[in-house]
């Protein structure tokens, strides 16, 4: 399922103004209403087939990150929380700095956290 996002300036990097990694959201992201509504519909559709609630959580996080970061071309490092994804770093340099500060290799980082390139 692909979310159609119509709101200007959010997740519209390709056809909207460029935003540097520093200008994009960091910290715990609010799960947008459009994502919550789409998740509810998807859960109803898949409920007979999907018994793992972790699937819904991963999907919620993926769609929320997509909502905020689609089209900007920056890496996004985040971890999943009960409330939604928490963005730890945006952009290659910030991701490398975080990785170094934690003493993690790229493989270890990907084992514990999600890294997306948008």
- Per-residue pLDDT tens for 93-106? 999 999 999 998 88
Q: What is the predicted pLDDT for the residue at 9?
A: 40
- Per-residue pLDDT tens for 66-83? 999 988 889 999 999 999
Check: CB of residue 64 under 8 Å from CB of residue 28.
no
With 0-12 / 13-18 / 19 or more C-beta atoms within 10 angstroms meaning exposed / middle / buried, residue 78 is buried
Q: Which residues contact 110 (CB under 8 A, 6 or more apart)?
A: none
Supply 99's token pair.
Answer: 């990785």
pTM of the model: 0.79
Residue 6 has pLDDT above 60, yes or no: no
Q: What is the predicted pLDDT for the residue at 1?
A: 46
- Per-residue pLDDT tens for 17-54? 788 999 999 999 999 999 999 988 888 887 777 767 78
Supply 80's token pair.
Answer: 């999943």
Residue 65 has pLDDT above 90, yes or no: yes
Task: Give the residue, 11 or 107, on which the prediction is more confident.
Answer: 107
- The answer to whether the Cα torsion of 13, 19, 23, 27 is positive or negative is positive
């Amino acid at each position: 399922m692909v979310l159609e996002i119509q709101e200007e300036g959010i997740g519209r990097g390709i056809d909207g103004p460029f935003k540097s990694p520093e200008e994009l959201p960091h910290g715990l992201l609010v799960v947008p209403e459009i994502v919550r509504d789409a998740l509810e519909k998807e859960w109803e559709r898949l409920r007979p087939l999907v018994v793992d609630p972790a699937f819904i959580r991963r999907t919620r996080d993926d769609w929320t990150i997509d909502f905020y970061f689609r089209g900007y071309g920056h890496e996004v490092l985040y971890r999943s929380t009960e409330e939604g994804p928490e963005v730890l770093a945006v952009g290659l340099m910030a991701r490398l700095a975080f990785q170094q500060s934690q003493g993690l290799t790229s493989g270890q980082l990907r084992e514990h956290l999600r890294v997306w390139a948008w």
